[in-house]
Amino acid sequence: MSRRQLYTGIAALAACGVIFVLPFIFIFITAAKTKQDAATLRFSWPVEWQLWQNFVEVVQTRNYMLLLAYFNSTVITVAAVTLLVLFGAMVGYVLQRRPSRWNTVIYGCVLAGLMIPPAIVPTIWVLQLLGLFKTLSGMVLIQVAYGLGFTVLLFRSFIATIPRDLDEAAIIDGAKPFQIFFRVILPLLKPVTVTVIVVQSIAIFNDFTNPLYYLPGRENVTVQLTLYNFQGQFQTQFNLLFMNILLVTIPPLIVFIFFNRQIVAGMTAGAVKG
């Protein structure tokens, strides 16, 4: 490594530290402060460490609302990501493998899903008509609909790299279309599936606006909405707010750390002559 590379490396690390690590430290320190201490919003050492007390208070607020929020968010995230992977892979497979003039239309719809911003009020009308407004299943469907365009795009391009010979070998072996998909294609999609799981679960878990619009009601609270618990018109309890932020940040962080190591490409190595 040359001296120049070393310096640019250090500079880049420092910049990343300022952008990513400093805010996190600020959140952590403020979450440990007392109410008065936190209200000054200074980047200073806590006068008195109150990490555990703040934690207990945040969890207990509004009759353990945070726990309910965790439950709701987890249900929505797991259900939506499962459906996204399943449908994304299926649609991507059909779009990539079966030539049909309908595919152009369907692909156009997928791209439109990426480009055209969703209209909130008509969507709510549709949800009300279906009896899904203010329900977790309705929220799951909304998240699936919003994420499907991107997911289909990812799966479709990945499936293009899987040799068609594998499908045909399975057909000769007597596999029905569903068996080809579930026993041959889907296992080979592991790298892109992991990517979809990481990206979508973090996006859905961290989603603030969509639950705010489509999932009103005390029972339906999601983790991001619990942040409102400590913000009022005249007063904000910054120590508790930041403790809440800290707690809400942890699950996506775990998902990212856990799956980041699993993103391994090259599953198809060996399928074709090497």
Partner 1 sequence: MTSVVLESVRKSFGSLEIMKGVDLTVEPGEFCVFVGPSGCGKSTLLRIISGLETTTSGQVFIDGKDVTDAEPSERGIAMVFQSYALYPHLTVAENIGFGLSLAKRPKAEIAERVKQTADVLQLSHLLDRKPKALSGGQRQRVAIGRAIIRNPKVFLFDEPLSNLDASLRSQMRIELTELHAKLGATMIYVTHDQVEAMTMADKIVVLNGGQIEQVGTPMTLYNNPASPFVAGFIGSPKMNLFDGEIAARENCRTYGIRPEHIALSSTEGKWQGKVRHIERLGADTVVYLDVPELQTLVVRTDGDRPVKIGETQFASPLTGKEHRFS
Nearest to 65 by CA among 237, 227, 233: 227
Task: Choose, by CB under 8 A, the member of 9, 108, 163, 216 that binds partner 1.
Answer: 163
Binding partner 1 (rule: CB under 8 A), the pick from 183, 208, 235, 258 is 183
Tell whether residue 90 is a contact of partner 1 (CB under 8 A).
Answer: no
DSSP SS3 for 231: strand
CB of 88 to partner 1, least distance (A): 19
- Check residue 48 for interaction with partner 1 (CB under 8 A): no
Whether 31 and 243 have beta carbons less than 8 Å apart is answered as: yes
Distance (Å, rounded) from C-alpha 46 to C-alpha 239? 11
Stretch that binds partner 1, among 8-16, 129-137, 171-179, 220-228 (CB under 8 A): 171-179
155 vs 168: CA distance, rounded Å: 20
Question: Minimal distance in Å, beta carbon 267 to partner 1?
Answer: 6
The neighbour count for residue 6, using CB atoms within 10 Å, is 10
| Ranges within 104-133 binding partner 1 (CB under 8 A) | none
Euclidean distance between CA atoms 18 and 122, whole angstroms: 42
Give me the torsion for CA of 224, 119, 107, 182, rounded to 10°. 40
Q: How many residues bind partner 1 (CB under 8 A)?
A: 25
Contact 136, 220 (CB under 8 A): yes
- Choose which of 171, 227, 255, 263 interacts with partner 1 (CB under 8 A): 171
Residue closer to partner 1, measured from CB, 8 or 161: 161
160 binds partner 1 (CB under 8 A): no
Residue type, 75: V
Does 174 sit near partner 1 (CB under 8 A)? Answer: yes
Smallest separation (angstroms) from partner 1 to the CB of 125: 45
Q: Does 184 bind partner 1 (CB under 8 A)?
A: yes
CA 77 – CA 79 distance, rounded (Å)? 6
Binding-site ranges for partner 1 (CB under 8 A): 163, 165-166, 168-175, 179, 183-184, 187-188, 190, 267-274
